Each structure stands twice: as structure tokens, then as C-alpha cells.
């Protein structure tokens, strides 16, 4: 097995489930860190006093979650991990800027589900055992979703 071939003992569905689980754990840990840092800075949520700091801290922790995904995916035996770690955020951006972003805008819990789904889709798209036709159809659907969301059909 080379470093770019998936682990043959793990099905594409299991890889997707493991990637989604890793995304959930990574988000939970890093958002917990963000919450702790915001609380340590004395932000209690009254007024607009700490809004900029809170947004910056949350953005940095989301970035930390995305960067730490490679290691978590390796630990969860999602191999190769780097294409999934790169594809997950890209798929999420396609989802977020597409029609899905309109539905998830006011519900943070659904954003977590969307991130988990993005990593699961990224794991499937990065698995060469999935037919090329299925991968192209999925990518095409994501691009159509993006275009429809940008133009708000």
C-alpha cells in the first residue's frame, strides 16, 4: 500500500463515518478552547464590548480545528489523511456559500452537521475505490449548489 492509496481494510462508508467523527471531536475541542479563552478574557456577552475579540478567537480556533484534522484522521486510520483534510474545508465552503448556507445561517448546530458532512463527503471524494463517475457527479452537484446559492435562484 502506498501513501496515496486508501486502507483496503476500511470501506468508503467507514472512512466517511470516521472523518465525520473526527470533525465533530476537533470542532468540540477547539470550540471549547475558544469558549474558555473568551471567558478568561472577561467577556460575558453583555453588549458589543468583546465581539471583535470573540469573533477573532473563534475564527482562529476553527482554523486550528481544520489544521489539526490531518493528525486526527491519521489516528482514526483514514488513510491517506491529507486529501481528506484538504477536501473537507473545500467541500464545506461549497456547501456554506451554496444554498445550504441560507438554511444554516441562524442555527450553529446545523453548521456542525454541515462540517461533519463536508468531511464525510471529502473522505468519499478522496477514495479512489469510489467510481470516478460518482465522484464527478458529486463535485458537479456541489458546484451547481454553489452557483445556485451565489445567484440565489
pLDDT digits (tens, 9 = 90+) for 84-138: 988 888 888 877 777 555 666 667 777 888 888 889 999 988 888 888 898 899 8
CB atoms under 10 Å from CB of 41, counted, come to 12
Measure Cα distances from 70 to 15, 33, 46, 141 in Å: 14, 19, 37, 26
Instruction: Check whether the bond before 80 is cis (ω within 30° of 0).
Output: yes
Query: Which residues are CB-contacts of 97 (< 8 A; sequence separation ≥ 6)?
Result: 146, 149, 150
Angstrom distance (rounded) from CA 141 to CA 1: 31
- 44 vs 71 pLDDT, higher one: 71
Angstrom distance (rounded) from CA 23 to CA 114: 10
pLDDT for position 77: 87
Check whether 2 has a pLDDT greater than 50: no
pLDDT for position 18: 93
* Mean confidence (pLDDT) of the chain: 80
pLDDT for position 8: 62
Mean pLDDT along residues 38-64: 75
Check whether 144 has a pLDDT greater than 80: yes
- 102 vs 25 pLDDT, higher one: 25
Query: Is residue 127 helix, strand or coil?
Result: coil
Mean pLDDT along residues 77-82: 85
pLDDT for position 1: 45
| 38 contacts 134 by C-beta, under 8 angstroms | no
Angstrom distance (rounded) from CA 16 to CA 14: 5
Amino acid at each position: 500500500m502506498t501513501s496515496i492509496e486508501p486502507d483496503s481494510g476500511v470501506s468508503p462508508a467507514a472512512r466517511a463515518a470516521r472523518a465525520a467523527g473526527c470533525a465533530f471531536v476537533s470542532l468540540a475541542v477547539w470550540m471549547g478552547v475558544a469558549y474558555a479563552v473568551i471567558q478568561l478574557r472577561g467577556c460575558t456577552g453583555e453588549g458589543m464590548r468583546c465581539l471583535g475579540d470573540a469573533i477573532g478567537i473563534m475564527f482562529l480556533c476553527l482554523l486550528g480545528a481544520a489544521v489539526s484534522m490531518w493528525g486526527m484522521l491519521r489516528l482514526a486510520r483514514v488513510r491517506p489523511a491529507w486529501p481528506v483534510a484538504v477536501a473537507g474545508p473545500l467541500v464545506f465552503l461549497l456547501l456554506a456559500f451554496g444554498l445550504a448556507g441560507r438554511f444554516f445561517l441562524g442555527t450553529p448546530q446545523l453548521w456542525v452537521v454541515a462540517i461533519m458532512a463536508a468531511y464525510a463527503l471529502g473522505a468519499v471524494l478522496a477514495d479512489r475505490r469510489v467510481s470516478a463517475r460518482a465522484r464527478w457527479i458529486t463535485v458537479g452537484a456541489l458546484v451547481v449548489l454553489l452557483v445556485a446559492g451565489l445567484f440565489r435562484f
